[in-house]
Structure 1
Amino acid sequence: MDAVTVRARTAGGRPTAGEGPGSGAPGDGTAGDGVPVVDVPSQVAPRDARELSRRFFDRLAVLEEGTREHQYVRNTLIEMNLSLVRYAASRFRGRGDSMEDIVQVGTIGLIKAIDRFDLSREVEFTSFAVPYIVGEIKRFFRDTGWAVHVPRRLQEARVELARATEELRTRLGRTPTTRELSALMSLPEEEVIEARKASNCYTSASLDAALSTDGGVDGESVLADFLGVEEPALALVEDFHSLAPLIARLDPRERLILHLRFVEERTQAEIGQELGISQMHVSRLISRMMGRLRTGLLGSEAA
């Protein structure tokens, strides 16, 4: 960002000989060709800033860029009009970002407005500058305010979708369909649907965000309380993945016994009858396999 500060150029409130940006004589209160010296530009009242800005813009138009006087005039214009930035930034209070950051971004818009302003347009500088400042702040929120990063085309489509939805809702008296939005926006229905999904990425809420309870009940709830319950079986997924290679090492008959017992949930007696062995033998086989699997699982966790 361009520097907004103006280097000290006065002694006792007056320009020092040989240090003025123009040819103004020491002690005359001007900085050459009638441009006044402003000791603290940021403290100039907005009404006075409007009048002084005209004089400074007149002078800026004839100065060569890069000279000390050009730098002084331009920097003074920036500081005198910072109240415009603070005014525009106040409209975005409560958006989550600090006001200091928003003012810094808005100052970029102010600098662009100063560099592009032309007195011959016969328009007040305030009217010319505010759209630049607001536009820069909106661009900042558009680029950094998304909870999930989405392509620029979808960011822009979201804004267009909001406008089209409001226009059709006013015109039709109901929520417009995707086909109606597609026709108004001149976009395929697939892109309208994509833009609608992208809108959901603009903001997000913490699962720990406190929600006030309704019905006058004291206390607070959090968002996670309304999003289902914890599924205990999810804790077994990792165990299943760890057991898979251990089970693969068993012989076919052992895997069949495990399948019959834990998948088809047959009794040991039924398994013994199908395999032609006693129920006691089935019990010993299952106990031995469980021990091997347990040892292998605990060993992999330790590793």
Structure 2
Amino acid sequence: MTTFALPCSSTADSPPAADTQRASRSRRTAELFAAAAATEDPHEREQLLEEVTLLNVPVAESVASRYRNRGIAEDDLAGVARLALVKAVRRFDVGSGHDFLSFAVPTIRGEVKRYFRDSGWVIRPPRRIQEIQTGIAAVESELSGRIGTSPRPSQIAEALGIDLADVEEALAARGCFSPDSLDRPVGEVGDPSVGEFLGAEDPGQDAAEARAVLGPVVSTLPERDRRILELRFFDGLTQREIADDIGVTQMQVSRLLTRILRDLRRGLESPGVGGS
């Protein structure tokens, strides 16, 4: 079987040459499909369908290229598009009377959009916002080329025929695909990074919460019990040092701490203590 030269997808053809190339690809694709439908040899049929796939790889890559720079690696998008092309080749009904590309392009585009929907979001916004973002992407470049600058949200809303508030909400959610790095400077190069402005956990927060909860219960304890708690948990004394301070044995301090902690647990479990 003769091989068919695969056209390069990156060739910068003039419009007439590109049209000629598309027409040639379409004719050759139809010939290959017709031959695959006519043959009774499964191996030959597989070779013909594989040639159809290779011939139309530039089409799949062209569809994928329309979705680049949106937070997903170009190689991943191209891979999804090529796989969708393979599915389209296998599912195409030669007897439908339609051109293959009229079936393949929507199939590839649908698979790429589905990949965005299922895999692209870091934080998944509502489906309505996702659909509006897709619409924005479709008209944004066209508007930019027409007016010579980035379109305003109001211009995008007018082009899509939707409310300005919906466009603004969708634009605000754009970072859900690819959030900014915490290492990105907040201004010029050399400025502090975004991460430096994030709050850290306050080590005193837990202690403050514990004091707020335990305060009413601790206030009900005898003075010596409160003294033992202060020496142990605020001053950090050992049981031996506490025993010397209050004039008892270390064993007695251990028993006292066990009993005090038990009393505190019971106090916290009692209705109306530290509650609303």
SS at match of 2:53: helix
Aligned to 1:56: 32
Deviation at 1:141, TM superposition (A): 1.6
Q: Distance in 2 between matches of 1:76 and 1:161?
A: 36
Q: Distance in 1 between matches of 2:184 and 2:128?
A: 31
Q: Distance in 1 between matches of 2:75 and 2:135?
A: 29
SS at match of 2:67: coil
Structure ranking higher in helix proportion? 2
Aligned residues: 217
What amino acid sits opposite 1:133 in the alignment? I
Structure 1 pair 59–174 and aligned structure 2 pair: CA distance change class (3 A): closer
Q: TM-score, normalised by structure 1?
A: 0.50
Using CA pairs under 8 Å that are at least 6 residues apart, name the structure with larger relative contact order, 1 or 2.
2
Q: Distance in 2 between matches of 1:54 and 1:297?
A: 89
State percent identity of aligned pairs: 26
Aligned to 2:234: 294
SS at match of 2:107: helix
Q: Distance in 2 between matches of 1:151 and 1:89?
A: 24
Contact 1:58/1:119, CA 8 A, preserved across alignment: no
Contact 1:208/1:222, CA 8 A, preserved across alignment: yes
Contact 1:146/1:202, CA 8 A, preserved across alignment: yes
Q: Which runs of 5+ in 1 are unaligned?
A: 1-36, 165-172, 256-283
Aligned to 1:206: 181
Contact 1:105/1:140, CA 8 A, preserved across alignment: yes
Deviation at 1:289, TM superposition (A): 5.5
* Alpha-carbon RMSD: 5.1
Contact 1:38/1:76, CA 8 A, preserved across alignment: no
Q: Which runs of 5+ in 2 are unaligned?
A: 9-20, 140-150, 239-256, 262-276
Aligned to 2:78: 103
Per-residue Cα deviation, 1:167-221 (whole angstroms, up to 9, x for no partner): xxxxxx9967xxx99xx769xx9x999978866644422322245518xxxx243
> Are positions 1:222 and 2:197 aligned together?
no
Contact 2:218/2:226, CA 8 A, preserved across alignment: no
What amino acid sits opposite 1:293 in the alignment? F
What amino acid sits opposite 1:223 in the alignment? V
Per-residue Cα deviation, 1:33-54 (whole angstroms, up to 9, x for no partner): xxxx244x6x523646444322
Contact 2:122/2:178, CA 8 A, preserved across alignment: yes
Per-residue Cα deviation, 1:113-152 (whole angstroms, up to 9, x for no partner): 33325476464x4465334323322221222111213454
Contact 1:207/1:223, CA 8 A, preserved across alignment: yes
